[in-house]
Chains A and B, each alone.
Chain A
C-alpha cells in the first residue's frame, strides 16, 4: 500500500549539491596540514621478481627527504582476504607480483623532491617468469604467483542444485557458448589520496578517499599494530568509487607509517596514471555456458564454468567469484544449476569489486545466450524472459528469498517501449547504417551479507533550533546516500530535508559500519536511520504528550510541527518541543540511535554459493537502440530505457541519475573500454587511451519506475544503481545483433571486431553457432567439456 510522503519519492536536489557546485567541497587531495610532507611510492616495473636489495640510503641523502620506507620497515601485514587470510603486502617484501606493486615510499618536503628521491632508491630484482594468462597460470608447471597457491588458484566456488547434467537430456534445446569479458576500469576521476597525521598520544588521524572507511580502520590498526580506537578515520568528499575505493591501499598505509616516522602529517596523492596501471580493475572473465530449454522457452538447466582473472592478490575476490556463480540463479527461475568458478592469480593488477561486482560478466553471457536461444526457438526475447521471470515469493535453488519482485512488470513495460521504438525508428537512413533494438533484464541485491560485521548504525543529534544532525558510517561516493539518508530522517521526524545536517565520517564518534558496497546503503543504513529517527521521535513524543495532554501514540510529526492526530491545532512547533525538552526540569539531551541489518540472512558460503544473500532483490529491464556503421564498425547508441523495480524510490531524481550513469558507463564497457597489456604492462594508463564515454557518446535514457513496496526496505525502498549496469552490455549486444545479425560473445565490441565479424559474414557465424550448439548437446551426454570452442 502506498502512502503519501513529504520527503520521500520526490525530486529533491542533493544535500551536498551546492557545496560541490561552489567548488567548496574538499576532497582528500585538497586537504593540507601545517608542516605537511608529500609522499610518493616507488613501484616495480617488473611483473614478477624477487627483491634482492632495496637500498634507500642514496635517497635519504637528498635534501628535503624526511623518510624512506620499504617492506622491511613494516610489520609485513598481509591485507585482503575473505573466507581465508589475505596475501597483499602494503610494501612488497621478498617478491613483487605485478607492474606497479609498491616497493618503497618516500616522504619529502614537496612532491618534486619525493619524485627525485624515488629515482635514487636502488632496487635489485631477480626476474622471475611472469604468469600473464589465467589458463597458462593453471597449467602444470606454471610459475606460482603465491607459493601457497598451487595451480595459481585463488579461490573456487562450486554451486550446484538440482541436476543440470541429467536435466539437459530432457531438454528440447540445449546450447553451449563461450563468452569473454574484458578487464575494465572503475573510472573515477579523483585519484586515490590519503592524508595521515600521527601524534604523540599514539593516535593516527587519517583522511582518505575511502568508500568503506571501516575497512581502513581495521587494516590500519593491524598493519601498524596499534589499537583500533587509536585510529581515527575522517572522510572527505569522495570523487567516485564504483567499488574501486573499498579497500585500504598501500598509499593509505604508507602515508600513516611515514607520518609515524617523521612526526609530520604526510599526504600521498597518486597520479591518475598510477591509478590506471597500479590499482584495481574489474575481473575479466571467461565463461563457458550451457543452457537447456523446453520448446516453449522454459529454462530447465544451466551449467557454467567461470574463470576469473584475479591478478596478483586475493583482495575480496572470493566474494566476486561467489557472486558470479550465484547470479546465474537470478533473475530467472531455473531448477537445475551447476556453476563452477575459479579465480586465478596472474602477475597483473589485482581485480576487485566494480559496479555490479561480478554479476555484469556472467549476466552478459547468460542474457545473450538467452536471446540466442529465443531466436533458435522462434520466441520473442521478451516472451522468453516473461516465461522464466522470477516472481515474488520464489526461493532460488541456492536459497535467495525473493520478497518484492516487479521483474514481470518491467518486462511488460519494456514491451511497450520496444513497440513504440520500432514504430518510431525510421528505415536505415543510409545503406551502411543499420539500426537495432535489444533488451536484457537483471536482478541485483540490496546489500550482500559478508562474513564479518554486517550492521549499519546511525546517530541523530537534535539541535535546539529544531534542526538535526545525522551521522552514519556510510559514505557518499556520489551516489547520493547523504541525501537519501537525510530524507529518511526528515520524513520520520516530520521536518524538512533542509533541517537535516548530514555529518561527515569520523570513526571517533560515528558508529561502526561495514562499508559502502553491494548497494547496501539505502536498504540497510536507511533502516538504521529510520530507527534512529524513530528513537528521537519517541523521546520527543514523551515530552510532547505531557505538554499536549495526549498519548504519545496519538501524536503526529509533520511539517515541522507535532500535534494530536486529526487535531492539527492541538500541537506545537518541532523546534519549540525540542527546546522544552532540553530546558525543562533536569533537561534532556535528545540523541537518537538506530542500528539495523536484515535478519534471517545466511552467512555467505563462498565455496558452495548456498544461502540467502540479501534482504531484498531489485529487478529491471534495459532496452537499447543502436546504429551500427557497417563500414567503420563504430556503434552509436541512440537511446536507452530502463524499467526499474527499486521498490519505493526515495528520490526519483537521484535514482534516475544512478540509472543514467550506470547505463552510459555500460556503453563504454560494451564498445570501447578495455585495459590493454603487453608483457604484463598496462599500455593504456591514461584517459586518452582508456576510452570512457564522453558527452558525445551519451544518449537519452528513458527511466520508468515499476514501484513495488519492499516490506523490509525503509519506506519500501531497495537497491538502485548497480543492478542496472548488469543488463547494459547484453542489451547493447542484442541490439547490435538485431542490427547486423551477428552475436558477439566477447566484449568490448570495438570497431575492428565489428568489421572483422561482418567481413567473415553473419551467416557463417550463425552456422558455427548452430554447430557448436549441436556439439554441446552431444557433449552434455558424455559430460565432455574438454574442447576449446571459439567465440566471435
Chain B
C-alpha cells in the first residue's frame, strides 16, 4: 500500500524535534522499519519528524576517556565501517554486519535499530489479516493471537544492536521535551513490555550512545540465530563480552588441543574470563542482561563443562512464544549452541 498521509517536519535541532513531537507524531530515522509498518497501516502518525537533518545526531567521535560517542542517526554501515578499521572495536563491527542486509544497513541507523519496535508473526501483517483476526494486544485489541488467553503481549524485541551494546556497557543519552538530557544504561531503555518496548516518551529522542573503551584484553562475540545470512531478523542472539586471560603460549603443550576435543578451532578451552557480560536478544520483549551468567563465568577457565553450564543457565532464562519464523523448541535448543560458540570465540 501507499504510505498513509502525514505532514513531514524536518527540524534542525534536537530541541526543536522534541518540541514538535506528541502522541500523534513519529520520529523518522532510517525508515527501514517505520515506513514498512506505516505501509501496512500498523502506524498512521499525523506528523512524521525527520531526524536526518539534525547535525548533532550524526557522527562518531572519541570521548575524553577514549570511548566512543555515536550519534543516533549514524547509519549502521557508517559505524560498522568505522569500527572495522579500529582493531579494538572491530568485533563490534562484525556484530553490526550481521544486521539485516547491506542495503538496509545503508539506511538503518544505530538509534533506529536500538529503538526498533517489537515484532510478531501475528502483528507484522497487512490490513487484510486484521480484517479477519481483529487487532491484537499491541494494536489495542483484546486478544493475543500468538498465545491464547494471554493478557500480555509476546512480541519479540528483534534489534541486533541492543545485545552487543548492553554487553559493551553502553549508555544512551535521551533528550526530553523540557530541553533536558538524561543518560541511562542502554539496558535501561527497555520496559520489557511487548506493546511499548521502549521507555521513551513520545517527545523524547535518543540522541547518542556512548560506548566505553574496552579493556585491552577484551573479547566480544555476537552469535545470531537466523535462517539466511542476510535480511533476517534474529531468532535469538547471545552477546558475550569479557576480559580474557589466555594461557601462556610457551607453556609446553598449551597449544595442543585436548584429546577429547577434536579440532583445535572447535575447542572451548584455554581462556579465563573476567567481568563477563552476557546478553540475550530476540528471546522476548526486551534484551536480557544476565548478571548471573557473568557471575558463573567469573574467573573460571573455559572448558566444555562451563559451556554446558552457561548454556543451561541461559536456556532457563528464556521463554519463547511461537511467533517468529522458527519454532520455540528449536530456538530454545539453539541457546546453548550460541552460548558455546560465543565462548569458543573467547578462546580463539
A631 an interface residue at 8 Å Cβ cutoff?
Answer: yes
B136 an interface residue at 8 Å Cβ cutoff?
Answer: no
* CB <8 Å contact, A632 and B337: yes
* CB <8 Å contact, A672 and B228: yes
A702 an interface residue at 8 Å Cβ cutoff?
Answer: no
B132 an interface residue at 8 Å Cβ cutoff?
Answer: yes
**Chain B: which residue is nearest A110 at the CB level?**
B2
Q: Mark A733-757 against chain B: 1 for CB-CB distance below 8 A, else 0.
A: 0000000000000000011100110
**Chain B: which residue is nearest A636 at the CB level?**
B229
Query: Which range holds the interface residue count of chain B?
Result: 20 to 34
Across-interface contacts of A696 in B (CB, < 8 A)? 228-230
* Smallest beta-carbon distance A783→chain B, Å: 38
Given A46-B132, A685-B126, decide whether A691 and B228 contact each other with a Cβ distance below 8 A. Answer: yes
Bound Cα distance A660, B261 (Å): 39
B263 an interface residue at 8 Å Cβ cutoff?
Answer: yes
* CB <8 Å contact, A694 and B231: yes
A432 an interface residue at 8 Å Cβ cutoff?
Answer: yes
Given A672-B227, A681-B133, A755-B333, decide whether A45 and B128 contact each other with a Cβ distance below 8 A. Answer: yes
**Chain B: which residue is nearest A40 at the CB level?**
B1
**Chain B: which residue is nearest A695 at the CB level?**
B230
Given A430-B265, A685-B126, A694-B230, decide whether A99 and B330 contact each other with a Cβ distance below 8 A. Answer: no
* Smallest beta-carbon distance B263→chain A, Å: 5
B225 an interface residue at 8 Å Cβ cutoff?
Answer: yes
Given A115-B2, A685-B126, decide whether A430 and B263 contact each other with a Cβ distance below 8 A. Answer: yes
A57 an interface residue at 8 Å Cβ cutoff?
Answer: no
B216 an interface residue at 8 Å Cβ cutoff?
Answer: no
* CB <8 Å contact, B262 and A431: yes
* Smallest beta-carbon distance A400→chain B, Å: 39
Across-interface contacts of A752 in B (CB, < 8 A)? 326-327, 329-330
A-B CB contacts (within 8 Å), total count: 80
Q: Is the interface of A mostly helix, strand, loop or mixed?
A: loop
A498 an interface residue at 8 Å Cβ cutoff?
Answer: no
Task: Find residues 214-251 in chain B having any chain A CB closer than 8 Å to their own CB.
Answer: 225, 227-233
| Interface-central residue, B121, B128, B229, B232, by most chain A CB under 10 Å | B128
B305 an interface residue at 8 Å Cβ cutoff?
Answer: no
From the candidates A115, A430, A631, A672, name the one contacting B337 in the complex (CB within 8 A): A631
Task: Find residues 617-631 in chain A having any chain B CB closer than 8 Å to their own CB.
Answer: 631
Bound Cα distance A750, B330 (Å): 11
Task: Find residues 236-292 in chain A having any chain B CB closer than 8 Å to their own CB.
Answer: 271, 273, 277
From the candidates A45, A115, A750, name the one contacting B326 in the complex (CB within 8 A): A750
* CB <8 Å contact, B132 and A99: yes
Across-interface contacts of A688 in B (CB, < 8 A)? 231-233
A43 an interface residue at 8 Å Cβ cutoff?
Answer: yes
B334 an interface residue at 8 Å Cβ cutoff?
Answer: yes
Given A99-B132, A752-B329, decide whether A694 and B266 contact each other with a Cβ distance below 8 A. Answer: no
B150 an interface residue at 8 Å Cβ cutoff?
Answer: no
**Chain B: which residue is nearest A273 at the CB level?**
B126
Across-interface contacts of B101 in A (CB, < 8 A)? 694
* CB <8 Å contact, A697 and B2: no
Task: Find residues 187-215 in chain B having any chain A CB closer than 8 Å to their own CB.
Answer: none
Given A632-B337, A696-B228, decide whether A45 and B329 contact each other with a Cβ distance below 8 A. Answer: no
B12 an interface residue at 8 Å Cβ cutoff?
Answer: no
**Chain B: which residue is nearest A754 at the CB level?**
B330
A100 an interface residue at 8 Å Cβ cutoff?
Answer: yes
Bound Cα distance A277, B231 (Å): 20
* Smallest beta-carbon distance B315→chain A, Å: 14
Across-interface contacts of B325 in A (CB, < 8 A)? 684, 689, 691
Residues on B facing A (Cβ under 8 Å): 1-2, 5, 101, 121, 125-126, 128-129, 131-133, 225, 227-233, 262-263, 265-266, 325-327, 329-330, 333-334, 337
Known: A115-B1, A751-B330. 10 other contacts (CB 8 A): A429-B265, A431-B266, A679-B133, A688-B233, A689-B325, A751-B326, A752-B327, A755-B330, A755-B334, A759-B333
| 17 pairs, A vs B, C-beta closer than 8 Å | A45-B129, A45-B132, A99-B132, A115-B1, A277-B128, A430-B263, A632-B225, A679-B132, A683-B121, A691-B325, A693-B228, A694-B229, A696-B229, A696-B230, A697-B228, A750-B227, A755-B330
